[in-house]
């Protein structure tokens, strides 16, 4: 049975020596970044089959960069919300080891979180698919280069994961290691339906961790009966309350 008892969930987090969080688009909605797939999300404007696949980048890097420039513009205006800031505080207070995020928006880092694994890559770097060289965005500013080019002459790709592209091995290894080690696993602002990120809470559960789902709607993990707790509500409200309650007991 999935419990909705907030006090018990907080008690688990307080006692846990190793808590990690998996976050998704839901945590950035209150920063004004709609989920890609929501009615006002990016895929309502752009045809996903022309912009989201690795093959699209090989076909026409300029088309992809025009699209990515728009993405970057909306991201650079976005600010972390009180939920992001609360997660950073939890880390500072010793109640959270690391965040594994499916977001590429850089908002956890902007909020001050130090341990952030970017499961799907990021908007802060560019990568050459031919020689593997990685550049900071400032080094090949896409607002100055129509198509940023590597020293080797190949077009650079934004360093986030396109459909048809694998997750980086070091990212996978670190994430799954943490999932195996953790005592409490938080599922926040994600429906946990996208593979392989959705495997992480299940691996944690199998290794003995307790799962706490914090979402507006129960995630797939809760619907399938794996969560121990489901806390329903807005990310910003639940996380700021949680930090106050954790602080209160120090
Ligand atoms: Zn190169």
Summarised one tens digit per residue, pLDDT across range 156-206 is 999 999 999 999 999 999 999 999 999 999 999 999 998 899 999 999 999
* pLDDT single digits (tens) 207-230: 999 999 999 999 999 999 999 999
Give residue 3 CA to ligand 1 midpoint distance, Å.
51
Order of strands across the sheet that contains 134-136: 134-136, 121-128, 156-160
Give residue 189 CA to ligand 1 midpoint distance, Å.
36
Give residue 152 CA to ligand 1 midpoint distance, Å.
4
Give residue 164 CA to ligand 1 midpoint distance, Å.
20
Structural domains of the chain, ranges and CATH numbers in brackets: 1-33+80-120+168-250 (3.40.50.1220), 34-77+122-160 (3.30.1600.10)
Report residues of the chain scoring pLDDT below 70.
Answer: 249-250
* Cα torsion through 114, 115, 116, 122, rounded to 10: 60
Give residue 45 CA to ligand 1 midpoint distance, Å.
31
Q: Quick one: what percent of the chain has pLDDT higher than 90?
A: 88
pTM for this predicted structure: 0.94
Give the catalytic positions in this structure: 120
Give the residue among 199, 201, 187 at the shortest CA–CA distance from 231: 187
Say how far apart CA 239 and CA 247 lie, in whole Å: 12
Say how far apart CA 131 and CA 233 lie, in whole Å: 45
Quote the tokens at residue 17.
């020596």
Average pLDDT, the chain: 95
């Amino acid at each position: 049975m999935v419990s909705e008892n907030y006090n018990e969930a907080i008690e688990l987090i307080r006692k846990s020596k190793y808590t990690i969080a998996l976050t998704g688009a839901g945590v950035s909605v209150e920063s004004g970044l709609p989920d890609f797939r929501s009615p006002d999300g990016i895929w309502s404007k752009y045809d996903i089959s022309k912009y989201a696949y690795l093959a699209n980048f090989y076909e026409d890097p300029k088309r992809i960069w025009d699209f990515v420039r728009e993405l970057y513009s909306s991201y650079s205006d976005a600010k972390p919300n009180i939920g992001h800031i609360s997660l950073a505080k939890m880390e500072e207070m010793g109640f959270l080891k690391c965040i594994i995020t499916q977001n590429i928006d850089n908002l956890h880092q902007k909020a001050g979180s130090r341990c952030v694994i970017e499961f799907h890559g990021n908007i802060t770097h560019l990568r050459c698919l031919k020689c593997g060289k990685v550049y900071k965005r400032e080094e090949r500013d896409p607002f100055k280069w129509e198509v940023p080019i590597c020293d080797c002459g190949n077009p650079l790709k934004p360093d986030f994961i396109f459909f048809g592209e694998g997750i980086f091995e070091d990212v996978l290894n670190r994430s799954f290691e943490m999932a195996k080690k953790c005592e409490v696993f938080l599922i926040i602002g994600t429906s946990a339906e996208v593979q392989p990120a959705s495997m992480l809470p299940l691996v944690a559960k199998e290794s003995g961790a307790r799962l706490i789902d914090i979402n507006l709607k129960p995630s797939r993990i809760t619907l399938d009966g794996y969560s121990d707790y489901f806390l329903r509500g807005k990310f910003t409200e639940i996380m700021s309350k949680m930090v106050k309650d954790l602080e209160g007991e120090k």
